[in-house]
Amino acid sequence: MATIPSIQPQELKETIDSGADVTIVDVRGPHDFDEWHIDGDNVEAVNVPLMQLQTVDPTKLLNGASNGEVVAVCASGQTSQMAVQLLQQSGIDAKNLQYGMNGWANLYVYQELETDTDATVLQFSRPSSGCLAYMVLSDDEAVVVDPLLAFVDNYIEVAREYGAEITTAVDTHVHADHISGVRAFATRSSADVVVPDPAVARGIDYDVAYETVAHGDVISVGNSSIDVVHTPGHTSGMTSFLVDDAVLLSGDGLFTESVARPDLEDGDDGASDMAATLYDSLQNRILTLGDETVVAPAHYSDSAVPANDGSYTATLEELKSKMDALSMPEAEFVEYITADVPPRPSNHEQIIQTNLGQVDTPNYVAFQLELGPNNCAASQESMTQ
């Protein structure tokens, strides 16, 4: 087993991003595969449980889709080593994904956004789930927005690399798809823990001191400013953050390929009312910003197309031109985004309770709870043309 060729998660992502053909031989069970797997426009994901792979000719299972990189995947990177051996015995040059899907879930990357801001804005991306977080840096200060608990130390280290200290950690809303890292900054740094004031009413019960921000407030970071813009609709507390009047950290209110789903707080019964609230937020607080405003959301889906710089961002002008939902009358908009809402994020109730501080979830359990896609948009398909 020590001689089994392997590929690191970072290397696999770089290969996929390069546009090269990749075949993923996923040897987990069908349920786990259907729940979440590695995907992409140039990725052919084949689910072949190991026992099946042991009884048939692998070349027939792959249907010839093995011309590019072939990578065997399981949950932890152990079982898939045996899959690599079987593939190699059939003449297929395969590699094993180091640490499996757990390693893929631990992959976290960031890049500087190309924006017209005095501050430096970093976009952090978790490819396994499409979760995005942000860091706004100015002088020797940094604000982190929508941090994930699993990567709190990463943010602190990146800020240090930029010669800055994180002074504020804030969430755009109470997340339903991942465990927030906001509270962890109270014990791992000197940063202020901040939540949107409207979110407190949902039952926030933190074990650390926290501050609140409301619509119209300003968060200062170095020589830059972050305006607080309450944009309810996805949740009642959903709040966006406008950096230097140029970059809108839109949370789950507006994505580059869709708009928010409206059912995660009040369920199906309250979805229509929340959709109407979202319509008002979009029309009166987001779409009134300048067309060159860069929208930087908290998630992206498989249908999202990266911008020219590789980030998951788009200008308001671009979104207006290609997303019909943004120009619909209210009644049509409400009907449209409530008609075919995707399945709710896995374990969303426990994740919400954890993020409210109502239950104590150990870190290793938290990591397992948030595995898989985020499903926070109104549709799993792109709403853009």
CATH number at residue 146: 3.60.15.10
More confident site: 241 or 39: 241
Q: Which amino acid appears at position 360 of this protein? A: D
Cβ pair 299, 132 in contact under 8 A: yes
Positive or negative, the Cα torsion across 82, 86, 89, 95? negative
**Are both 100 and 120 inside the same structural domain?**
no
Which residues neighbour 262 within 8 Å (Cβ) at sequence distance 6 or greater?
Answer: 233, 234, 270, 271, 272, 274, 275, 277, 278, 337, 338, 341, 378
**Are both 98 and 121 inside the same structural domain?**
no
Out of 47-51, 217-221, 341-345, 358-362, pick the least confident: 341-345
Q: Report the mean per-residue pLDDT for the chain.
A: 92
**Are both 141 and 252 inside the same structural domain?**
yes
The domain total for the chain is: 2
Average pLDDT over residues 205-230: 97
Residue 64 has pLDDT above 60, yes or no: no
**Are both 60 and 136 inside the same structural domain?**
no
Residue 60 has pLDDT above 90, yes or no: no
Which residues neighbour 200 within 8 Å (Cβ) at sequence distance 6 or greater?
Answer: 212, 237
Query: Exposed (0-12), middle (13-18) or buried (19+): which is 31, by Cβ within 10 Å?
Result: exposed
pLDDT at site 275: 96
Q: Which of these three, 104, 119, 138, is where a domain ends?
A: 104
**Are both 127 and 276 inside the same structural domain?**
yes
- The reply to whether 162 falls in a domain is yes
12: CATH: 3.40.250.10
pLDDT at site 289: 98
pLDDT at site 348: 86
Q: Give the pLDDT band of residue 385 (cuts 50, 70, 90).
A: low
**Are both 135 and 283 inside the same structural domain?**
yes
Q: Is 74 a catalytic residue?
A: yes
Cβ pair 35, 372 in contact under 8 A: yes
Query: Exposed (0-12), middle (13-18) or buried (19+): which is 322, by Cβ within 10 Å?
Result: middle
Q: Which of 354, 6, 44 is nearest to 177 (CA)?
A: 354
**Rounded distance between C-alpha atoms, residue 132 and residue 169, angstroms:** 15
Pick the catalytic residue from 43, 74, 82, 260. Answer: 74
Average pLDDT over residues 277-286: 97
Other beta carbons within 10 Å of 321: 14
Strands across the sheet with 224-230, in order? 218-221, 224-230, 239-243, 247-251, 294-297, 314-315
Average pLDDT over residues 285-301: 96
Q: Which of these three, 59, 78, 104, is where a domain ends?
A: 104
**Are both 70 and 94 inside the same structural domain?**
yes
The share of the chain scoring above pLDDT 90, in percent, equals 75
**Are both 150 and 291 inside the same structural domain?**
yes
3-class DSSP state for residue 123? strand
Domain containing 239 equals 108-369
- The reply to whether 13 falls in a domain is yes
**Are both 42 and 178 inside the same structural domain?**
no
**Are both 307 and 363 inside the same structural domain?**
yes
Cβ pair 382, 304 in contact under 8 A: yes
- The reply to whether 376 falls in a domain is no
- The reply to whether 375 falls in a domain is no
pLDDT at site 362: 87
Q: Which of these three, 69, 104, 139, is where a domain ends?
A: 104
**Are both 192 and 165 inside the same structural domain?**
yes
- The reply to whether 217 falls in a domain is yes
Return the beta strands (E) in the chain as ranges.
Answer: 6-7, 22-26, 43-47, 69-73, 94-97, 109-112, 120-126, 131-138, 141-145, 165-170, 192-196, 211-213, 218-221, 224-230, 239-243, 247-251, 294-297, 314-315
Residue 65 has pLDDT above 60, yes or no: no
**Rounded distance between C-alpha atoms, residue 96 and residue 105, angstroms:** 16
Residue 103 has pLDDT above 90, yes or no: yes
